[in-house]
Amino acid sequence: MPFLNTAVLSSIDLYQRWLSPLKGFRCAHAAFYGGDSCSAAVRRLVAERGALAARPDIAARFQTCAQAYSHLAGAAQVTGGSVRGVCCCGPVPIPFRCG
């Protein structure tokens, strides 16, 4: 396995093991659609196809996560509720709170 793929997979593993549990919530994509979080989906894509080949699908996943965040934020405004999660709008997940 090329070094880049190994480095990306190791970074995701570290994030999932040490950082993700500290934040206490899932990404917006997983919160809105269910299923895998973005980190799990990206890990699977990199493991199956490699970091470079998977780039378009990774970018599409982050875009879908950003759209899910918009839906969640809109729902929080309409209902007056509070929504927490992480928007994967780029290579670094960004915590959010709506409402």
SS3 (DSSP) at 96: strand
Residue 49 CA to residue 83 CA, distance in Å, equals: 34
Across the range 12-29, mean pLDDT stands at 87
Domain definitions of the chain by residue range:
3-98
Q: Which stretch of 30-34, 38-42, 69-73, 91-95 has the lowest confidence by average pLDDT?
A: 91-95
Q: By the 8 A CB rule, do 78 and 60 touch?
A: no
pLDDT tens profile 51-83: 999 999 999 999 999 999 888 887 766 666 665
Say which residues have a Cβ less than 8 Å from residue 25's Cβ, sequence separation at least 6: 31, 84, 85, 86, 95
pTM beyond 0.75: yes
Tokens of 8: 């990306």
- What the block records as the tokens of 5 is 């793929």
Residue 38 near residue 93 (C-beta atoms within 8 A): yes
Share the mean pLDDT of the chain: 83
